Structure 1
Amino acid sequence: MAGVMPLATTRTDTLGDDTDRGVAALFEKADGSPIDTELTRTIEGEIIPRLMLVHRVEPALTPADDDERPALNTDEVAEFARLVMSHDIADASQYIEKLRSVGMSLETLFLDLLAPTARLLEDLWQVDLCDSTDVTVGLCHLQQLLREYGPAFETEVEHHEHGRRVLWAPLPGEPCTFELQHAFGVRIAEEFFRRAGWDVWSGNPGSVNELVSIVRREWFDLVGLTVNCNTPLDQVASMVGAIRRASCNRAVGVMVGGPMFVDHPEWVTQIGADAIAVDGRQAILQAQSLLGLMARRC
């Protein structure tokens, strides 16, 4: 993968020898013997690099001292996944602190470590490499780490309050096979909007009517919906239409996020939405561009 340096030439001395075997450690049985070699090669060579590519975008609003750092590699993501699945979160926190000590920003860690780790946990579960208990522990720990580092993340860049309000929520009633991972993506987006000075509303509405009631009662400049891969497009389009009809802001923007729209960005216009949230950083840029365009139209 372009831009990724071998671990031995980046942070080996700082992070310790165990980091070198991050991917390999995920593919061992309890007795230390390796699992199916072909499956290991598939995940190590395809699943993890794909996750890294999905979450790797051009830097924006990143502290200057982070520009020169080497990119996170697949071993580091896999090692972090192993740490968050353990029942002691202290090791995962220490791992983050070591990366911060060599100049890596929390923005980079949120986007290039925590977010890909959440996706990796889901993929490992779907191919039966981890059981639901281990993955649930891992995702809960990721949520805890996000809350722990959220205040420091907000102070990494200067931001100004501007009075804009955003609602982030998963699509109500969808057949979400991995609700914790889904919710984690929402939390990442919320952290970026909060840092950019937005008044962030979040929740997990249990029904379409509940979400519609919220946008009818409260003013939002933007509504962000995260969508599971299994959700039919017509269901998403119906929800977007319901939000627009009910919103007390007749010019409300609608942003959607989820792997299905990363793979098929052309679907965004098909469902009547305005923009796609690839990750938290790009979501902010998209939101600013969208609201600027709407302001010029008014």
Structure 2
Amino acid sequence: MNRRFHLGRLATLLTLPALSACSSGLNALKPSSTYVATVGVSYGPDPRHKLDVYRPSGKPPRGGWPVAVFFYGGSWHWGSRTEYTFAGEALASRGVLALIADYRLYPEVRYPGFLDDSARATGYALREASKLGGNPQRVYVMGHSAGAYNAAMVALDERWLKAQGQSPASLAGWIGLAGPYEFLPISNPQAQVVFHHPDVPPGTQPIDYVKRDAPRAFLGAARSDHLVNPVRNTEQMAERLKSAGAPVELKLYDGVDHVTLVASMAWSLRWMSSVLDDVSGFMLAEPATTPTTAAKSAAQ
């Protein structure tokens, strides 16, 4: 099997015309009784520094709901939080407080601008979780495709959360769906401009930041994903985490592809895969140690 992942295929990733065309239908068909939404919350000074909050209906459990900060895909060129109300509803319906975050895109920014934004949104979640009804000890970063790259970098590379006065040890874990974690060399012109090709800076690959005390991870991918190679990316990342001694769960899905993997979280498509049950179960399960304990252990 050719293990080379050409980032050029990202030109047809999620939130491109494929999902953008159907997201209005997915969003329109979602239930409205499972959540309470607060839209357009600012987490920073830029117009793109906005997120929507989806609180589960009813009272939060003791300690607060688990919190998921979700980043969508789109080659770092496309996407809007308004296209992902179905994801906010899906997570809230399972008892997870969901924050669907926008971040700056090309050409407004190139690498690492969107990582600064992702860390800023995550820092907001860590600071404000209690006020929102969430548990600040159970904050997760989650993403699909390019958004999974963002989530992985925030969770694994301490540079980004450090700028927000936080660290990856503050996270309860991270969730990557069909993410690119090791994708050099870059061949697609759209992706090349995002990562400064041919002068790609060092340190752009999430897989290079794996270490034993990384936050616990859930990695999922479609077995038949022809856009982001699940072997080179998802399986290799899972193996690297496992070899380092970091906790990781791996799930490969049949019957879905790169786009329908995340679309199957929508109420009308949940018959396609168990991804929603799997990621929500991962977040609802009590971790072996709290982020605070992990931070103390790492410092010793």
Same-fold status (TM-score > 0.5) = no
TM-score norm. by structure 1 comes to 0.35
Larger Rg: 1
Higher strand share: 2
Identify the structure with bigger relative contact order (alpha carbons < 8 Å, sequence gap 6+).
2
TM-score norm. by structure 2 comes to 0.35
